Amino acid sequence: MGDDVLPVPVLSRDTLIFVQEIGEGCFGKVFKGVLKKENGTSDVVAIKVLKETASRQAEDDFMREVEIVSAFRHENILSLLGIVLKESTSRPWMVFEFMPHGDLAEVLRSNSRQFWKPVPGLKSLTKNSLLKIALQIAGGMKYLAAQRFVHNDLACRNCLVGSELTVKIADFGMSRDVYTCDYYRIGGSKPVPLRWMSPESVMYRRFTLESDIWSYGVVLWEIYSLGKQPYYGLNNEEVVKMILQGIILLPPENCPPFICDIMKECWKTEPKDRIIFNDVYDRLKKSWKEREGDEPLFPGTNNNNNNESNVITTRDSGKISCPRPPLFPVSPLINNNNNNNNNECNDILDADNYLAPQATQINEYIHPLPD
């Protein structure tokens, strides 16, 4: 693939110096490095390198990622600076801007009462800081949605933090090894981010802009819980049952009411009923403009780790609408069964890549949630 095909600079291997490894996945590694520029200056960068043992499919996926990411231009999306093309004895590389403070999940945890460890070069988080983080991620996702791009793995671990608390959405594909407890293998398939997935994603592996919205609601929960794992204290099988029974996360203690409202609108059972990223961004932007004096996070914060305290049953608006999640996990993906139980769910999208409304099909496995 030549440099006349991709809208991104093709770099020489000689211009890059590897400093240290900062992440590893099944098919590649990410290194902190230095990019030497023609004018004699240099930039600190992140270099994603495909492993020599990676398959041809992994290499094709790697180059497909280049094509996709190179088209993104947004202040809250990680920038691809260039690529190093494949040679006879080495695999291709991707070169990204370097975010010095690492992933957002770690930054949040370092500011929690349990794991207090100030991040060098970054001020301690405040209540306004959390709103700023949420707003930036919403802005990045609004942009991706406008490009009709579905992220599939939106989570704080896949957001990177730079100077002045700049947050950028990324997905190096390395999180599955670094955060192995956040991924779950359903029915022998590749690991998926279960705790961030919508009911239709769990049931049918359907990933759309609506499922990204669901994940964004979980990201809000991560932000305002200062990096706790969603459904902490529960194993993955229990989480599957809770998601399919309509049991959602309880907003963290002291979470602002307007953030709680957005979370609930992200977690509507019916995909078509969920809020869209444009509206999320507009609400958060309005709140940011109207913010008043800032406050530290710790005063009055309740860090209760009771396993039962982080979930609550929802009935959405109080009305019963079909189809709803079944009371028990019946998907072949969950049962590791290859039958055709998921034929009722077809991938029908509207012009904006959102799920188009479908006629209700009443089946024996669809039940209203109990009062």
148 annotated to a ligand binding site: no
36 annotated to a ligand binding site: no
4 annotated to a ligand binding site: no
Question: Across-strand partners of 158?
Answer: none
Nearest CA to 321 out of 249, 355, 369 is that of: 369
The Cα 266–Cα 293 span in angstroms is 28
φ and ψ at 227, to 5 degrees? 85, 15
CB 212 within 8 A of CB 267: no
157 annotated to a ligand binding site: yes
CB 102 within 8 A of CB 160: yes
Catalytic-role residue among 4, 60, 103, 153: 153
| 371 catalytically annotated | no
| Measured CA angle at 79 (ends 121, 163), to 5 deg | 10
Amino acid occupying residue 143:
Y
The Cα 123–Cα 126 span in angstroms is 9
* Alpha carbon separation from 199 to 206, 318, 323 (Å, rounded): 9, 18, 11
Q: Compute CA 261 distance to the chain's CA centroid, rounded to the nearest angstrom.
A: 20
Catalytic center residues: 153
* Residue set of the binding site: 48, 157-158, 171
* Residue set of the binding site for Mg(2+): 158, 171
* Residue set of the binding site for ATP: 48, 157
